[in-house]
Structure 1
């Protein structure tokens, strides 16, 4: 077994060559399993499922027991705590008019399954960094995983329209409060819900405000602010002391060098390397 504990989520890969039967008591987390080889059976909330290589499914939901068996299993599993899922659900229904409940434990369709697999593969690449994975990468990844789970697996939250008050709250003052908060906290692990709370509106109202008044999104604005901090750090750094573009970019949440370099060039008209080396 390989295990990576990011604190806000866990990623593990396991090989169980022997036949295994299991029963899990109710826990406070959700587990999404992807089978690479072998087969598994799982009984959860009176729904039985049989799974083989290539399948992804919810193996466990918060506060519910489950049981099942495996044979010659090779699989990966991502564990997300209930409060992280609640935060993701709050971006859809901040007034919590409906409880979050999963009505299906397999992806809603082939495109949903492919979406989850791309997200899982990205999570795996981050986890391979181990201790080098920066909090500004881990935090957004955890929120991404929770959000994609709600998009991929049928539940009681997705597919409902937001209240009209979200449109009324999408004012220029909302955008101003949000940008001020982002400017002051870009160095910390903040996401859409944190920004909306600081602006005293719902996450969806915040998104409306940014589109209406700034022609962008809150996350795109946050990315631009962090690019600015990287630019300043590169100009101030001395490559002779061991400073590198990759290390400085990672400190501000930019994991993929090629994507970061493209965004940097689009914003500053030069490569980050040329900025570092003067």
Structure 2
């Protein structure tokens, strides 16, 4: 089992030295289907060579040091650094010493979907021009997104089914924003602004109302409305004064409100449990949003 996880992380060609007394190789793996999250404790020197694959892997180093060669680009990374550990279609190799790190794995099809959302009418193929974040601000953004993914993985996919799809899209979009590439950064197409009509907003809100209980994200809503995600965002800002995802959250808040009013705490119903069923995992943020919408706390609604 452990060796299989090592192969998944480093490929079939790897060599690991004996672990120092009192240490152990530890790999914690979470597969959410649309993405995977892995934490690794590698207390002894390890060398690896990984053949080309379709996945993209983003590594964040929490301790120790890792050297990685990817094509012509070489880099050495230490605690606090994030980098592209593997890019689709290219081999990589490297070595680590006393490494403690996390890795987010995104399938190639997920990345392609994110690229299509950004450039729906085609253009230059995706190529990462740098394998580290563009700046410290974007590096911090990636770390916040990664930490959120870790918190969801701690809960388990079965407990938060409405979160996994949007989280996968969030991770893929964050990669395109954080790591310099040939796709992100172009001006929006004029057609996107032309598609930002009131009928677009109406189609999208109808889809959200009918599918708020399912695992949907921005790309799903845009596809249902037959426009690009960017056109959808323009339509919501222009005609509704909000964003598609903010509208989705408001619809789900309404469902939570109805469920709280109908629930009986004597039967074991809890605010946390009901909120989680509708994708609200952060208790304090949910409570603040609920109070802003309904003028009272969710607990008061449940026990009222």
TM-score class, shorter = over 0.9
Q: What are the ranges of 5 or more consecutive residues in structure 2 without an aligned counterpart?
A: 1-26
Listed one character per residue, the Cα deviations across residues 8-55 of structure 1 (whole Å, up to 9, x for unaligned) are: 111111111121110111112111111111111111121111111111
Other structure's SS at 2:100 match: strand
Aligned to 2:94: 68
Query: Is this contact kept in 1: 2:166–2:218, CA < 8 A?
Result: no
The change in CA–CA distance for 1:131 and 1:181 in structure 2 (over 3 A counts) is closer
RMSD between aligned alpha carbons? Answer: 1.1
Aligned to 2:216: 190
Q: What are the ranges of 5 or more consecutive residues in structure 1 without an aligned counterpart?
A: none
- Structure 2 distance, partners of 1:26, 1:214, is 46
Once superposed, which parts of structure 1, at least 4 consecutive aligned residues long, lie more than 3 Å away? none
1:98 shift after superposition: 2.3
Alignment of 1:24-39 (within 5 A): 24-39=50-65
Alignment of 1:113-262 (within 5 A): 113-130=139-156, 133-262=159-288
- Structure 1 distance, partners of 2:247, 2:157, is 28
1:127 shift after superposition: 1.5
- Structure 1 distance, partners of 2:303, 2:252, is 20
TM-score, length-normalised on structure 2?
0.89
Higher relative contact order (CA 8 A, sep 6+): 1
- Structure 2 distance, partners of 1:83, 1:128, is 25
The change in CA–CA distance for 1:13 and 1:154 in structure 2 (over 3 A counts) is same
Listed one character per residue, the Cα deviations across residues 145-178 of structure 1 (whole Å, up to 9, x for unaligned) are: 1111111100111110121011111111111111
TM-score, length-normalised on structure 1?
0.97
Other structure's SS at 2:250 match: helix
Query: Is this contact kept in 1: 2:56–2:106, CA < 8 A?
Result: yes
Listed one character per residue, the Cα deviations across residues 183-214 of structure 1 (whole Å, up to 9, x for unaligned) are: 11111111111111111111111111111111
Aligned residues: 278
Query: Is this contact kept in 1: 2:271–2:299, CA < 8 A?
Result: yes
Listed one character per residue, the Cα deviations across residues 104-150 of structure 1 (whole Å, up to 9, x for unaligned) are: 10010111111111111222122121356411122222111111111
- Structure 2 distance, partners of 1:82, 1:69, is 25
- Structure 2 distance, partners of 1:196, 1:124, is 27
